[in-house]
Amino acid sequence: MMERDEHLLEVFEQLLRMKNECSCTIFSECGLADMTVKQIAYLKVIDEQGDVTFSRLAEITRNSKPTITEMINKFVRMECVYREPCDHDRRILYIRLTEKGQKIAKAEQAALRQVIGRMVNSLEEHEQELLIEILKKVR
């Protein structure tokens, strides 16, 4: 029993290492190898929200508006976001992701797709189906 648990731990650690390597490669391609987990999370929120304002982002992330402004200014310098005035009310600014920001926001999903690609390429079709059925059982 203990040996099987240890073996599962090793296998999952290897999968996580693969995913992290893929994520790091994506971040390096963007020239942002030192981006923090928190910064990535904020970019994901911006990506998920679509039309997000400074006030709304502050509310979602439970930060002050000055903190959000500072963070967005940093993201602008990193070329991850830009500000876009609202067509109907020029006082309202939306925070938009650049192509680079979108790539970073979606990096984890892209990394998981790469890991899945590696898994699919190393398994026979019936093994792939079996893996899917096994993983569906995990809750």
Query: What is the Cα–Cα distance from 13 to 86, expressed in whole angstroms?
Result: 46
Query: What is the Cα–Cα distance from 81 to 21, expressed in whole angstroms?
Result: 25
- pTM, to two decimals: 0.71
Does residue 98 surpass a pLDDT of 90?
yes
Q: What is the pLDDT of residues 56-83, one digit of tens each?
A: 999 999 999 999 999 999 999 999 999 9
Does residue 33 surpass a pLDDT of 70?
no
Stated as kind and residue range, the H or E segment containing 85 is strand 81-85
Domain 36-104 matching CATH 3.30.450.20: the answer reads no
The answer to whether 93 and 52 are in contact (CB under 8 A) is no
Domain boundaries, the chain: 1-34+106-139, 36-104
